[in-house]
Structure 1
Amino acid sequence: MKKYPINVARLQMVESGQFIRRFTLDFKNSGLDAATDVEFKSQLDDLETQLPGYIDALLQIRAKEESNSLKKLNTVRNQKFSTVRRAIRVYEYSDDAIEKEAYSRLAIILNTFKHLDKANYEAKSLGITLFIKDLRNAKNDALNVLHLSPIVDKLEVANANFKTTFDTRSATTISKVKYDSKALRNAIFETYKDLAGYILLMAKRKNTPFYSTLLSVLNSGRDYYADILARREGVNKKHKMMQKNELERSEEEVQEAVIEEAVLDNEALQS
């Protein structure tokens, strides 16, 4: 009997909460009665008491990450909108009559949406969609006359990327209490470590169906997340190896070039 090995310190923040929750859920679904072992129940209760606060702390981290991601995506679409606006204005003083007419039509649309970049997130999303629609529907195919479809397409992609992230952001109400996620993680994993050690000890000493099943419950989540870490580490190692090989190839190419140059210089001297 043994605990499945896993380095929990390598779990990402969100994964760490899922890891602890996985154990508590697996235990509830096992049909075992925690009251069978008073000491085990006490440690399990301690773990479950800490879990809600830790989950709240992780949700705050996730919400902050989502907020930062939205800010970046919003900046990108602002830049794309600005690019479209500047590209249209390039034709303001065109000498070509057809281009001048196309510019006039697009300039009217542009003026309608001139304050779009100052709108709130949702209003801007809808505004950009309407802006693009009006540009594409401008009379006499004005958008294509000025060859601006490619940059409008890029604005559409930037807006779609923002909307996807915005629409799938966490809908959970985030507590306003500020948590020390690092301290909470250390505390809950210290409890988990003691609990896991106790389960293994009792499984070895007692070797009864209760403790054998309890150890299996413990190992189920450990096995699952250890596999995730192993696959992630494998990808990282492969990436690092590729970088190393590329660097070695570059060094070899430089050495070969130096040798080739030396040989040519020597041949030139001899001739």
Structure 2
Amino acid sequence: MKLYTLNVARLQYLETGQFIIRFLTDFESLNLDAATDPEFKSLYDSLKTQSPIYDLALMQIRAKAETELLIAQDDIRDKKLGTLRRAIGVYRYSDEPAEQAAYNLLKILLTVYKNIETANFEAESLGLANLVAEFRNATYLPAVQTLGLTTHVNNLETANNNFKTTFNTRSTTTINTAVYDTKLLRKNILATYKDLAEYVFVMAKRKNTAFFVDTFTVVNNGRKYFADILARRLGNGGDVPPTV
């Protein structure tokens, strides 16, 4: 009997949360009573308390990443609109009557959507969608085609749709406004797990009771599962440090 080898320090941040949840879930599935042993119960209860807090910290990280992605995508669509405006502006002094007429018509349309980039995210999304639709209706499409702006209009639509997809599918989970020290939380929860795993291992050897033997099996099953994940990662390019 031995504890399955697992370098928990190599688990990524998300995997760490999954690893702890795996143990808690598997233990509960056996209907074992944690109160069978007071020391075990203390460690077990500590893990149960830390796990949801650690998950909140991970959600906070994900929400931050989503926010950064939204800001980046908003910047992209703003630049696509700016490019379209400049492309139209090129024809301001055109000597071709058709181009001059197209420029004047589209310039009036753009005036309606002046400063749309400064609107809130949802208002800008709707405004840009409406602008693209206007460019394609019977009134403005001939002018767009005359000035060769179809690609710019399509690019603006794509950038706006990309933003809307991210915005609409972002995490809707309400996150506590507290700022979590994820690194410290990870360190603490793994330290508690280490104490619990080693305690179960020792007690399973010394007492050999059904409770500790079954719990030890749960511990080892989880450790093997995640050790295999790490092994596959090593086989695909090396030892990857913990990341979110």
TM over 0.5: yes
SS of structure 1 residue aligned to 2:237: helix
Q: Find the structure with the greater CA-based Rg.
A: 1
Aligned to 1:151: 152
The aligned amino acid for 2:12 is Q
Q: Which moved more, 1:196-205 or 1:75-84?
A: 196-205
Aligned to 1:185: 186
| TM-score (normalizing by structure 1) | 0.79
The aligned amino acid for 2:34 is A
For residues 68 and 96 of structure 1, the distance between their equivalents in structure 2, rounded to whole angstroms, comes to 44
The aligned amino acid for 1:29 is S
Q: Which moved more, 1:135-144 or 1:227-236?
A: 227-236
1:12 CA drift (Å): 2.5
SS of structure 2 residue aligned to 1:6: coil
Aligned to 1:262: none
1:138 CA drift (Å): 4.6
SS of structure 2 residue aligned to 1:124: helix
1:40 CA drift (Å): 1.4
Per-residue CA deviations over 1:116-155 (Å, capped at 9, x if unaligned) read 1101111111111111111121535222222211122222
1:6/1:154 CA distance change after superposition, 3 Å: farther
For residues 77 and 164 of structure 1, the distance between their equivalents in structure 2, rounded to whole angstroms, comes to 13
Aligned to 1:228: 229
Aligned to 1:34: 34
Per-residue CA deviations over 1:11-43 (Å, capped at 9, x if unaligned) read 232332222222212222222221222221121
Structure 1 moving runs of 4+ over 6 Å = none
Aligned to 1:160: 161
Q: Give the gaps of 5 or more residues in structure 1.
A: 238-271
SS of structure 1 residue aligned to 2:6: coil
Do the aligned partners of 1:106 and 1:138 also contact (CA within 8 Å) in 2? no
1:146/1:229 CA distance change after superposition, 3 Å: farther
Question: As a proportion of its length, which structure holds more helix?
Answer: 1
1:112/1:188 CA distance change after superposition, 3 Å: same
Q: Which moved more, 1:61-70 or 1:111-120?
A: 61-70
For residues 233 and 130 of structure 1, the distance between their equivalents in structure 2, rounded to whole angstroms, comes to 50
Aligned to 1:48: 48
What do you get for the CA RMSD once the two structures are aligned? 2.1
* Pair 1:199 & 2:194 matched: no
Aligned to 1:213: 214
Q: Which moved more, 1:54-63 or 1:182-191?
A: 54-63
For residues 158 and 236 of structure 1, the distance between their equivalents in structure 2, rounded to whole angstroms, comes to 34
For residues 171 and 95 of structure 1, the distance between their equivalents in structure 2, rounded to whole angstroms, comes to 53
1:85/1:201 CA distance change after superposition, 3 Å: same
For residues 68 and 199 of structure 2, the distance between their equivalents in structure 1, rounded to whole angstroms, comes to 41
Per-residue CA deviations over 1:217-265 (Å, capped at 9, x if unaligned) read 223433333343344444434xxxxxxxxxxxxxxxxxxxxxxxxxxxx
SS of structure 2 residue aligned to 1:147: coil
1:200 CA drift (Å): 2.2
For residues 234 and 71 of structure 1, the distance between their equivalents in structure 2, rounded to whole angstroms, comes to 36
Aligned to 2:117: 117
The aligned amino acid for 1:82 is G
1:56 CA drift (Å): 2.3
The aligned amino acid for 1:150 is T
Aligned to 1:91: 91
Q: Give the gaps of 5 or more residues in structure 2.
A: 239-244
Per-residue CA deviations over 1:40-89 (Å, capped at 9, x if unaligned) read 11210111122232222222222222211211111111111111111111
Do the aligned partners of 1:102 and 1:142 also contact (CA within 8 Å) in 2? yes
| TM-score (normalizing by structure 2) | 0.87
Do the aligned partners of 1:105 and 1:138 also contact (CA within 8 Å) in 2? no
SS of structure 2 residue aligned to 1:236: coil
The aligned amino acid for 1:42 is S
For residues 53 and 106 of structure 1, the distance between their equivalents in structure 2, rounded to whole angstroms, comes to 54
Work out the number of aligned pairs and report it: 237
For residues 7 and 67 of structure 1, the distance between their equivalents in structure 2, rounded to whole angstroms, comes to 33
